[in-house]
Structure formats: C-alpha cells, structure tokens
Chains A and B, each alone.
Chain A
C-alpha cells in the first residue's frame, strides 16, 4: 500500500464544499470517502481532520446540518451546502484555478530558462 498524503491545510474546506455541491446532502463519512475516491486514493481524510473543518464551515454559515437516517437505517448527521456556501465555492474555486495556473506558468517558464 503506497503511503497516502494527508490533506494539506486550507484545501480541505474547498474539497468539502465541492463534494457537497456534486453529491447533495451527505454525512461526514460519505464526504471523507468521496474525497479519498476523487483523489484516486492519494489522499487520506480521517475524522480528526474532517470534523473541525466541517464545524468551522458550519459556524461560518457555508454549510448546514441536520440529523437523518441513511439507506441502511443508520442515524447520521447530514450536511448540505447553503446559498452562502455556493458563492464561497465559486469564489474559492476561481482563486484556486488562478493560483494553480500562475504557478504552472511559473514552473514551466523556469524550466525553459535553465
């Protein structure tokens, strides 16, 4: 088994928002699994990192939560995106795209120079 990377600080919130956007209301375990899957199992998300992030997002008003029951009749807390969260997602996604684009250009130009 190749060693998995921990999610680096600051990006987890964006991943959570994106996951909620594409999947709709879902519980914490589902979010963690989904992120791991999407990363092609390169990232590992555990409870200890996920829950503080979820709490923070909820306190900031980007997501909301309520208790519900799952398909196999388990009680779980379901998270969903709020209107403010949707806006935040658009904003952050844009920022990230720009940042990565700049970084990509920067790295490639460096390669040409040397």
Chain B
C-alpha cells in the first residue's frame, strides 16, 4: 500500500521537474545556513564557519542526484528521455517512418482481424456454464460415393434410446440444425424471417442458463409430440425485434399452421450453439414434424460429460445402441442391395469437443480461415523484415552518435534500450493504426463469406482475448524488427566509428550480409504468399468457369410458399398468371432450383433389375422448364401438359450412360425405388444435355426430370412450396423483384414470396469460400509484393550509398556503366533467386496441407510455380532501377573530394 503510494508520487514527480529542483535548492540552502549559524555560535570566523559547513555537507551535486533518484523513478526517467529521443528520431525521417507504420499497421490489422475471426468462430467457448464439458456426437462412415464422411445428424427415436442409456453418466441434448423460417405475429402479409432451433427441454438447465424474462423451456415442455406450442426467444432477438418490450411474454406467432406462444427470454449473450448463426427462437424438439420418425436425421446430439466420467465406455455403449437401432431399421430397406446396407451400417460413433459450439459454417471455413491467418502472418513477417532493414540502415548512419554515447559513459544496455524504445514507439503507433483497421475489416470479411439471403452473424466482441493478442503481437514484432538493429547499435566500436572510417561495426560487410539475409527471408515469404495466393485464384477461376449446362441469363428464382398445401395444378395456374406481368419473358415451375445445395435421390431399376448401386437424382419440372433453363433437348420431346408423375421422364446424358449403356433411351422405361418398397414407373420421352444438379465440384449426376403434375391426388413432393424460374426481359432481373412480390399474393391470396434470388447468385454461392479466399489472397499477394519491392529498393539504395566511394573509384579508373550495374545488382539478384527458390519450395511443401481448399489445380504445375517467381523477379528489376541509375550517375569528382 505504502510502496504503491510512493511509486505513484514518484511517477507524478516525473512531470514536475523544475518545481522539485527549486524546493531542493531552497531546503539545501536553509540546511547550510543552520549549519553556518551553529559554527558561528561555536566561535568560528564567518569564512571558516562556511567552509566547515560546506565540507560536512559532502558533494553538493552527488547529494542532488541522490535526492533526485528518490524523488522520481530513475528507470522511468531514462525511459521517458529515450522515448522523447526516439520520437525525435522517427520524426526526423518522416517518410520512412510513415511507410514503416503504414505497412506494419496493414499487416497488424490483417493479423488481428484474422485472429478475431478465428477466435470468434473456432476458439471462443460458448457462453454456458461448463463449455469444456460439451461434446457433439458424430458418426464416422462413408458417403454414397464411398468417401469417408462424418455425419452429425441423428434421428430422434435413436437419440431417446441413447439419452436413456447415458442417464447418470452424461446429459444428452438434441438440438436441431438452425432453420431460417417464415413466421408472422399478425397476418400472412407480414411474414418475416427468423432463425429457429428445436431443442430438448432440458437444454437450458443443462447449460446453466437463466431467464431474462418469463421462464425457459423445461423437460415438461418436451414430452408429447405436437403438444407443446411454446417458445423461448434469445435476448439478442428480444432486443432487435421487440426493443426489450416486457409485454413480449404471451405474444404468439405462427409458422405455417402452427401457433406458438412466447413464454420467456433467455439470458444474454447465449444465441444457440452454432457459431456463425444466431438463433432467435427456441422451441421444444417435440414440436418438430419429424420428432417421431426413425428415418429423418434432423438434429445434432450434444453430450454434457461431467468430470470423472470416462468417455470411452460411454462411447462404445452409445455406439452399440445406435448400431442396433440402424440394423433394426435396415430390415425395411427392401430396395437396397445387401452391400449398400452393410456399408451404411459401417460407422463408428465418436465424441467431438464442442466447447466452442458446432456449426456447418465453422466446418466450412475452418481451414480457409487458418490458411488466411498464415498468409497474413507471412505478410506481417515481410513488413517486419522491411522495418528491421530500415532500422539497421538508420542505426548504421547513427554509428557515430552511438560511439559518442559510449565514449561519454553510456552502458551498452542503455544503447540497446534506446533503439528498442524507438522500435516500441514504432510498433505501438502501428498497432494503434492496425487496431482501427482490424475493427473495420473483421466485419467486412464476415460480409464476404456471407450468402446474401442468409446473413451470417458472428459475435465479434473486442474483449481481453483480442487485447491480449494485440499486445503480444506488438511485443513480438518489436522484438522481431527491433532486437537485431539494437544489438548491432550497441555493439558499435567507438574508436573506429569516431575515426570516421567504417560505420563502426567490427566487420564492415556484416551489416550488408545481415540486410541481404533479411531480404532473402522477405523474398521467400513473399513467394510463398504469391504461390498459395495463385493456387487460390486458380481454384476460384476453375470453379467459376465450370460449365453448368444451363443459362443464368436474366433468370430470377422465386421461392413461393402457400399457407396450406395446394395441388400442383394451382401452382401451374399461378405460373400462367405471372406470365402476364410486364417485364416477364418466361415462367416455369420446379420443386427446387438447380445447384441450391439440395438433392433428391433414389435407387433406379431398369426392366425389373436389382436396385442400382448408382443413385438417380430427380427434379420435378413443368413443361417449358427446359427452355427456360436453356438446357438443349438432344432426343425426343419436352413434357406436355398431360404428362404426369409417375409416367413420363426426361433424362440427361449421364443418366443414359449410367443406366442404358449410353444408348438412346427414348421409349425405354425405368423404376424409381423408394426405401420402403414403393416404386414409381417412368417411360423416357426425351434426353437432354448434361446440366449440374447439386454441387459444381462433383461430376455430373445421373439426373431424371419428372413432370410437375401428379397422376394421383397425393403430390410427390411437399406441396406447400414451389420454385418459380422467371426469365425477365430486363438486363437486371432483380429490378422486377418488388413487382413480383406484389403480383403473387394478388394472383392468389394463399401464396406469398418467401425469397427472391437470381440463379447467378445461387451459382456463385457454390464458390463463395473460394471467392473469399481468392479475393483476400490476391490482395495480400499484392501487398506482399509491394512490401518486398520497397524492401529491395531500400537495401539497394543503402548499399549504393555505402559503396559510393568504391563506385567512384571504379568509375574514375574507367569502369563502364554495365559493370557498375552488375556490381550493384548482382548480389541482390542472387539473394532474390535464393529467396524465391526457398519460398516456392516451402509453398510446395505447405500446399499439401491445403488440398481440400483447391479445386482442379495441381501445385506442381509449371505455371503455378513460375508465376510467383516471375512476379518476384519483375518487381526486383523495377526496384533495382533507381539505385542502379544512381550508381551509374555517380560523379567521382564530387564523391572523392567530399571524403
């Protein structure tokens, strides 16, 4: 307590120098006076009294110094002086300082915002009572293509068995994937969207969450299917949608035909378990339409395992329960071959830590964010190397000052501190600028990974995590670019430096060697960034140039929903009505859009053969849909209004190849086999060119287009929604969006537009991650190249300056320009070549870890390897020109006379 008080006082005294000095002087003279008085008393003469008093007082200046050391904090005082001096040094070289600060700030900002994203998405624990005890259950098995895959979806009846078996050891919770639903608090015309999760009634208590208002869901809310129309909303939604109105309790909303009542608001900041998506509304699992179905895996299973419970015995118990469940279920899969069934039963249940939550967004972006993080870290290293070179050059020009300081008694430690303080000021200024940049750029990057229709929302708080990261980054870079120049400065040899011969280093070439080593490292990092960036750009280009087999030109995709399920005929009537809207060229209907991350597949049987192991993919379309999508017909005909499902089918080339050995299948027939034994018989009436169905990265799937109309009363797909493909006459199809939004309910009051997208947007969303990586990677490649070029320029400039006498002598004795240019540039080009080779090699090694982010690019392609090397070489040449010109233009007379 007292020492703290004293430290604070001494700290304050740092800023009251002159007043302290005055007081000290006054007190000193009063002390002296008393002493003289005493001496006079004891009978000395006035001069003798004064002399004796001064003698016994001791050295006046030493006393002042000792008192001063007690008045203030000496180390802080030197630090303050060093800071002032460092600041002056930095201001003296305004442009160099500004360039250093800006380049560092950009790199620090990029690193910090990458860290913010990685932290928010992957590291930050969920705001629940014991996030470290949370696990997500998954099944490791193989997908339909035989590739290993991890499934985290579960069927509720299976979950119930596991939950009961685990009771006493762990708490199992079912939480559905977040759905973006249409709901309304008033009429159909006021539909709005919200994120909804079906959760076990036990979830809130298990997570240790408290209500902000009302009550939370309990296990009693989750017992009978369809009997608990209650909802809890998140604090975030309560704030955003209701402005924290306490009257929200008791309000009800409608989803489809189901009415739910809000009973409570959960505590902030909990917004569900899926980073990237914030859940607005929680309703009990029992309200899910598939709550009792054994064949629908619609939720994740989370487990809270208390400390002391061994995971492995629990895992194997749950594994055998699920295996028994699936084996029992597989007995009804009459339309699948025994091999297929065996393959589906081949899985292992496993526990994944879910302390930071678990979401698809997390899985999709994990590796790309980490890759990005490494890229920006490399850019930071390049920037640090630049600043280190700058500082080395500057300390060399200050060698005489350093030598002087040593000669008059400064310790080497103090010189070290002097240069380090200067570095720290630079780092601090850059970090502050970088923080502003990061504050702006992290949300900007989130917007980039965003599909426009379902905004990703990531909590990005600037808390102690980020602060700690920022501070450690600042300290780390201060050391990175400060320590080497500081050590060099403090190692100055006063005698030789003051004589003016060399710059004071023991070995005159060692400084240049150090700068070249830094340049080589910089070039290597830069090539690595360029190489990886090039691969990302190539991946994106390959993906976006993938032929889709259909046209997106002026094509709008309308998802239209109806209050109650309606017959397909009514949908077709709506299409007729929309055709009369001005600006509309064509309207067709399908049950879904192509490439919309969706598929409907089943086994196929030709002429009563066994179920195929290759699956057929199906889409219900209206007559004229093929023409709207501009998918050309190769054989046969399009659907007629009389064609129905089951009945007629149009298949693509891949389908003909897979099931009819590539022969013209028109006139032949096949059966679509459903898992529980139902069959639908189709006769092929046409063959169309291949078009992409689900994913742009996979091979074209065997696709059969089926008529939109059903032969029976029961439609073949869920009939409360359909997708309308509208080709507009205007170049900007979205201009028609609001007109169509109004036209749909006018045509039929049951119908409402749920969302409008362009087909182009849907196609682009396939490569959203690649576009994000390509954009950021090319930006950082440019920055890296620019920084490396600036670094090269700086070092060349410095070395020409340092060797100006040598160059002048060479010129004076008749050396020609080319030989001077060679002299200046050869070592730097050798350095660049070494660095580039190292960088590309490192790139080749590291690309192995990134293969999942690449599409159709081989890192070993000559073009991929040459491009970064060429870009580097080109910028090296550009950077070398000014210094070389300067060297050649050296006037020997002037230089030699001045020395």
Contact among A46, A52, A61 for B57, CB-based, below 8 A = A46
Contact among B27, B38, B66 for A48, CB-based, below 8 A = B66
CB distance from B647 to the nearest CB of A (A): 98
Closest to A51 in B: B67
> Which of B6, B26, B27 has the most chain A CB atoms inside 10 A of its CB?
B27
Residues of A within 8 A of B6 (CB): 56, 59-60
Report the bound CA distance from A56 to B34 in whole Å: 23
Report the bound CA distance from A109 to B38 in whole Å: 46
Q: List 20 A-B contacts (CB under 8 A).
A: A33-B38, A44-B56, A46-B57, A47-B31, A47-B63, A48-B58, A48-B62, A48-B63, A51-B67, A51-B70, A52-B66, A55-B67, A56-B6, A59-B6, A59-B9, A60-B2, A60-B3, A62-B2, A74-B33, A77-B26
CB distance from B660 to the nearest CB of A (A): 97
In the complex, besides A29-B34, A33-B38, 15 extra interface pairs with C-beta distance below 8 angstroms are A29-B31, A46-B56, A48-B62, A48-B63, A48-B66, A51-B27, A55-B70, A56-B70, A59-B70, A60-B2, A74-B34, A75-B26, A75-B30, A77-B26, A77-B27
Residues of B within 8 A of A11 (CB): none
- Give me the interface of A with B, judged by CB distance under 8 Å: 27-30, 33, 44, 46-48, 51-52, 55-56, 59-62, 70, 72, 74-77, 84
Report the bound CA distance from A44 to B34 in whole Å: 16
Residues of A within 8 A of B5 (CB): 59-61
Residues of B within 8 A of A74 (CB): 30, 33-34, 37
Residues of A within 8 A of B9 (CB): 59
Closest to A84 in B: B2
- Is B893 an interface residue when CB atoms closer than 8 A count as contact? no
Residues of A within 8 A of B31 (CB): 27-29, 47
Interface residues of B in 408-444 (CB under 8 A from A): none
Report the bound CA distance from A28 to B35 in whole Å: 11
Residues of A within 8 A of B66 (CB): 48, 51-52
Residues of B within 8 A of A29 (CB): 30-31, 34-35
Closest to B37 in A: A72
Residues of B within 8 A of A44 (CB): 56
Residues of B within 8 A of A46 (CB): 56-58
Report the bound CA distance from A55 to B70 in whole Å: 7
CB distance from B236 to the nearest CB of A (A): 50
- Is B71 an interface residue when CB atoms closer than 8 A count as contact? yes
Report the bound CA distance from A48 to B348 in whole Å: 81
CB distance from B702 to the nearest CB of A (A): 87
Which 10 A-B pairs give the minimum distances between C-beta atoms? Answer: A29-B34, A59-B6, A48-B63, A52-B70, A60-B2, A55-B70, A76-B30, A48-B58, A59-B9, A51-B67
- Is B28 an interface residue when CB atoms closer than 8 A count as contact? yes
- Is B308 an interface residue when CB atoms closer than 8 A count as contact? no
- Is B10 an interface residue when CB atoms closer than 8 A count as contact? yes
Residues of B within 8 A of A55 (CB): 67, 70-71
CB distance from B38 to the nearest CB of A (A): 8
A28 touches B27 (CB 8 A): yes
Closest to B28 in A: A47
A52 touches B69 (CB 8 A): yes
Residues of B within 8 A of A47 (CB): 28, 31, 57-58, 63
Interface residues of B in 484-504 (CB under 8 A from A): none
Residues of A within 8 A of B146 (CB): none
Residues of A within 8 A of B59 (CB): 48
Report the bound CA distance from A76 to B35 in whole Å: 12
Interface residues of B in 1-51 (CB under 8 A from A): 2-3, 5-6, 9-10, 26-28, 30-31, 33-35, 37-38
Report the bound CA distance from A77 to B71 in whole Å: 16
CB distance from A8 to the nearest CB of B (A): 16
Report the bound CA distance from A55 to B59 in whole Å: 19
Contact among B2, B34, B70, B71 for A76, CB-based, below 8 A = B34
Closest to A30 in B: B34
Report the bound CA distance from A56 to B13 in whole Å: 13
> Which of A27, A28, A51, A52 has the most chain B CB atoms inside 10 A of its CB?
A51
Report the bound CA distance from A28 to B38 in whole Å: 14
Residues of A within 8 A of B62 (CB): 48
CB distance from A73 to the nearest CB of B (A): 11
Residues of B within 8 A of A51 (CB): 27, 63, 66-67, 70
Closest to B27 in A: A77
Residues of B within 8 A of A59 (CB): 5-6, 9-10, 70
Residues of B within 8 A of A61 (CB): 2, 5
CB distance from A6 to the nearest CB of B (A): 11
B30 touches A77 (CB 8 A): yes
Report the bound CA distance from A30 to B33 in whole Å: 12
Residues of A within 8 A of B71 (CB): 55
Report the bound CA distance from A48 to B57 in whole Å: 7
Closest to B4 in A: A60
Report the bound CA distance from A62 to B5 in whole Å: 11
Interface bits B69-108 vs A (CB < 8 Å: 1, else 0): 1110000000000000000000000000000000000000
Residues of A within 8 A of B38 (CB): 33
Closest to B13 in A: A59
Report the bound CA distance from A75 to B34 in whole Å: 10
Report the bound CA distance from A3 to B28 in whole Å: 25
Closest to B7 in A: A59
Closest to A65 in B: B27
> Which of B5, B30, B57, B58 has the most chain A CB atoms inside 10 A of its CB?
B30
CB distance from A17 to the nearest CB of B (A): 13
> Which of B31, B58, B59, B69 has the most chain A CB atoms inside 10 A of its CB?
B31
> Which of A47, A60, A74 has the most chain B CB atoms inside 10 A of its CB?
A47
Report the bound CA distance from A76 to B37 in whole Å: 13
Report the bound CA distance from A29 to B30 in whole Å: 9
Closest to B29 in A: A75
CB distance from B318 to the nearest CB of A (A): 65
Report the bound CA distance from A71 to B69 in whole Å: 32
Residues of A within 8 A of B69 (CB): 52
Contact among A30, A52, A60, A62 for B67, CB-based, below 8 A = A52
Report the bound CA distance from A72 to B35 in whole Å: 13
CB distance from B112 to the nearest CB of A (A): 40
CB distance from B679 to the nearest CB of A (A): 95
A27 touches B30 (CB 8 A): yes
Report the bound CA distance from A59 to B67 in whole Å: 13
CB distance from A76 to the nearest CB of B (A): 5
Report the bound CA distance from A103 to B10 in whole Å: 36
Report the bound CA distance from A57 to B288 in whole Å: 75
CB distance from A70 to the nearest CB of B (A): 8
Closest to A53 in B: B70
